[in-house]
């Protein structure tokens, strides 16, 4: 009968140890699953032109993380990007707007004029974006 008590105690101890297992194992698995989630990416076509001098500054496709704003795409891929405190683009690679002569940077997405600032527009899959330095009359 003594061996039955010992077997019972050992069984209870083993069950207790198994039940107390490492609680972080489940959390680590869940955390690694969220870390492994793929970051969504979008591919856009971006053309930048100085229409006052008929100069193409850039004509490229970019793959960026979903939610990336247009101004960030420009700043990460072009030199001499200048922006006002209000977030308006004033210069790309030395091509500058000229307020006195009504020459400004404007953009279109898929043939439609931009309705928000470049810092607010989030690139979407297959967007065809054109940014133009042009004279407003």
Tens digits of residue pLDDT in 69-98: 999 999 999 999 999 888 789 999 999 999
Instruction: Tell me if the domain spanning 41-135 has CATH number 3.40.640.10.
Output: no
Question: What does the domain layout of the chain look like in residue ranges?
Answer: 2-35, 41-135
Confidence of residue 37 (pLDDT cuts 50, 70, 90): low
Which pTM does this prediction carry? 0.71
- Per-residue pLDDT for 17 more than 90? no
Return d(Cα 25, Cα 36) in angstroms, integer: 16
* pLDDT at 24 exceeding the cut of 60: no
- Residue 85 has a pLDDT of 85
Q: Give the neighbor-by-neighbor strand order of the sheet with 112-113.
A: 55-65, 41-50, 128-135, 103-109, 112-113
């Amino acid at each position: 009968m003594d061996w039955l008590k010992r077997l019972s105690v050992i069984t209870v101890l083993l069950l207790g140890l198994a039940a107390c297992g490492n609680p972080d194992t489940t959390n680590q698995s869940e955390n690694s699953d969220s870390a492994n989630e793929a970051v969504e990416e979008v591919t856009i076509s971006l053309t930048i032109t100085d229409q006052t001098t008929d100069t193409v500054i850039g004509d490229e496709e970019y793959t960026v993380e979903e939610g990336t704003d247009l101004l960030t795409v420009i700043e990460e891929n072009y030199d001499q990007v200048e922006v006002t405190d209000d977030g308006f683009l004033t210069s790309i690679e030395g091509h500058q707007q000229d307020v006195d002569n009504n020459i400004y940077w404007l953009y279109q997405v898929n043939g439609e004029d931009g309705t928000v600032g470049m810092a607010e527009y989030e690139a979407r899959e297959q967007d065809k974006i054109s940014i133009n330095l042009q004279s407003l009359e």
